[in-house]
Structure 1
Amino acid sequence: MNIYRRFIVQFLFQIIIGFILLLLLFIAIWGMIGFSISSADIEKDLSKGDSFYFSEAISMKDGKAVFNDKLKQLVKNQDMELIVFTKEGQIAGSYPALETDLSPIEQGELASLILGGTGEHSFIDLVDWKDMDPYYLLIRKGNALQDLLTQTQRLAEWDKQKLNLTDRAIDKLNKEHSWVQLINPAGDVVDEFAAEAQPSHYSFEELTFISEHDKNTASAYFHEETGQTLIVGIGRNDPAASTDESFYKHISQSFLIAFVILFLLLLLGTFWYARKFGIPLITMMKWIKNLGDGIFEEPQDLHQQSVLMNKKGKLKKKYRLYKDFILALHQLTKTLKDNESERLKMTKTREEWISGISHDLKTPLASIAGYSQMLKSPNYSWSEQETKDFGEIITDKSAYMMELLEDLTLTYRLRNQALPIVKEEVDLNEFIRRTIIYFVNDPNNRDLNLIFNPSPKRISAHIDPKWFQRILDNLIQNAIKYNPAHTSITVSVSLIEQHFIVIKVEDDGIGMDQETLDKLFQRYYRGTNTSDTSMGTGLGMAIAKQLVQLHDGTIQVNSTPNKGTFIRILIPAMENAKEYK
């Protein structure tokens, strides 16, 4: 899997995981908000609690119900009564305590408990206790407004048009945040308590509305004998508003907690992403910087161990996403390291070559200078033969230096791709035949055994005659120079499936060892007899290889010591090869 697909899979997987986590977080937040709403509802109306809530708030100890403090406070605030009993009618506990013992009660007594007073009631099954015997909870809710109206009605002095509230009644009214008004038959308020925010006069329609429609916040009593009306209301400090405020407080707290959780998750996610994606990128940037600074090694820790690999030699998990890129960096590091090693080696070889060249140039220059001094010496008269011999030596030395300089110039032009190649169609059979004739007719090669095996068909190729001639001259000249007299040298040309031309140069001479064979195409490398300036410049085979490559070809050399050398050149052929005549 390449790095592109690996990134797609990785990010898709992370998006799915992130979506699942967000979904779970969303469910958790809504659950928390729901729990807050439920808690606020219960604090507003205890009868909305479920079996689980009351099972947590009420515990059983030795067959008796024990109510926790929070539940007791809610019961007091909401003017309720809780009674716990078994299926047999045995009362296990109550709050506030009933004026009865814990003996079993009959259905009629239970009915009186339920229906007694003016409030509402509800049943809850308590099935979550460890005790397998079922228990039941009776919630009886009082009607505080009606109780206040009844109490105030008994205390009122109707003849005197006075409320006549006792201290105990005032305390109860203050506790319930209630107000009281006494209204005469004309609708005027004649006495009141804590009713500053209420009207001072009522019409008949207003009194009727309060009596029939506003029973939750106000209740009225009409005294038939005097025609007066008593109104008791709840609303000075509206408990419902206080409860709503508590409800919104719970919601705000839930959203604040959710925001904090999301913020923490964002920080954790940022930290995780920075470690997962940032650390590998920083490591690879450091690696690339090291390569730019000439440090051709992967990053290492303080213990000189690879930061990318674990103890088992495998790529660490956080770097596996960048596996392809790291492999490419490994290859680049190896290549640069090899190139640097080769460069240093080449520098050393070039320095040695320059030293050798300096020596090689120094020797013929010294010869030329010496013979020139001798020729112009006034103290001695040279014969004609001696003058010719001196001139021949000077000519040979000059030719060698010229060849050396030309080879040096040519190799640098090839290296910088500055050598122009002008290809034309050439008959290779005829081209090679003329080259062989040139070497055979050379008087210096009278002991040469040179054989040419042409192709039976005409072979045409697109080559640059000048530079291809240089290739053949180098190969044949080397076969002559580095082998003893009477060595057989065979040059052959053939065609492979009408597409490729094969030129072979073979000899049965002394051959080459593996070290010489490995360095044969290196610049500045010379074989044996480097002290003999007639043995070449050390650039011939490197030049030959580069010239073959410029002709879109390849060159291969095989050699065995004391058995000979085999050189094979492969270049593209022109189409439609014709029968050679």
Structure 2
Amino acid sequence: MTVPPIDLKAIMLAAQVAKVLNVIHRVAYALVSPELQVLYASPNFNTVVSKPTHNILGQPLCDLMWEFVGVEESLIAIINGNMPFLAFERVTREMKDERLLYLDIHVTPVDIPELASGLLLIVEDVTEQAQMEQRLTQHRNELLLVKEQLSEANKELYHLNQFKSLFLSLAVHDLRTPLTSIMAYSDLVLRMLPEDASPKIKEYTEIIQKQSMRMEWLINDFLDLDSLDQGRLVLRPQMQELNDVVEQVANLLKYQAVKRNLKMSLHLWPEEICFAFDENRLQQILYNLINNAIKYTPEGGNIVLSTRVEGETAVFQVTDSGQGMNEEQQAAAFNLYYRTEDADKYDISGRGLGLYIVRMLTEAHGGHVDLTSKVNQGSTFRVYLPMKSAL
């Protein structure tokens, strides 16, 4: 009988693989006799036993690892082939330095005549994995808690938002009723003034009328802000002429410019610019841009309003000689409630709504707005509106 040669390369390779796996997975192992005594143990086996000892070989398994106390019958059943294996997962082991180890223990039968029959005990140190699982579980529970808190906060915010909308509607109704009367009676007074009436009376009455219209646009700003928040802004476009609307709003705000000794000039496109837009919304866009220029331009400065046509796009532009903005301020200019430091420094009134509403109403028309500015050199705002709109 010829005995085949032993493949030493395969054995050496298997040994190397086992060595690497032992380092990666931090595995300790032992061979246990049918009498449940340790016949052989890996050098690191002493680091995973319940009570470390200098002499492991020959020791009863239950003395070394207390997890097996009371399960001796199961171990015998594995040796006799009546059970396939026995496993304990996430066994905790408190070390002398108060570290806590987590171990996975696996017991399988072994029947190697050249060695012995009995049990192969494999102990894997899974401390890092177990700790990571604990952290993940903790993070998941924290996220679930945050999710519940956010859900409750969202419900509360929804109710607060509904209350805000209701309050705003009631406040606007109470404001508009007397405001409508003021506007109607001021218009009636202007119509009934005799030709020889004092120019001052006419001037003051026009101021009342114009300031009432300013108040109406402020109210509309708040209403539009609420509509934008609720996603229910409705446009009512009709064929209109842009230059006419620009002149109307400029005349309304002319008194404000004169009060601050500002020169406001109009450079309008020589031809009519007719297309479909919501006149009230466009008036708000123009009002907010021009009013913003008046507030931020020092006394004696200049404001230029202009219109033009670029292809199929109507352009309205406001240029002022005001304080200007740096790049950071320009990037935030159209954000809701944004106000520059200069606004507080120079006590400039405002709520940080105007430019945000300009942007939103312009985009609602399918257009866009941009800004160029330099510190101490003024600003230019441009509104681009498509003349062929699908509104």
Superposition TM-score, scaled by structure 1 size: 0.30
Give the number of the structure with larger relative contact order, counting CA–CA contacts within 8 Å between residues 6 or more apart. 2
Higher-Rg structure is 1
Superposition TM-score, scaled by structure 2 size: 0.43
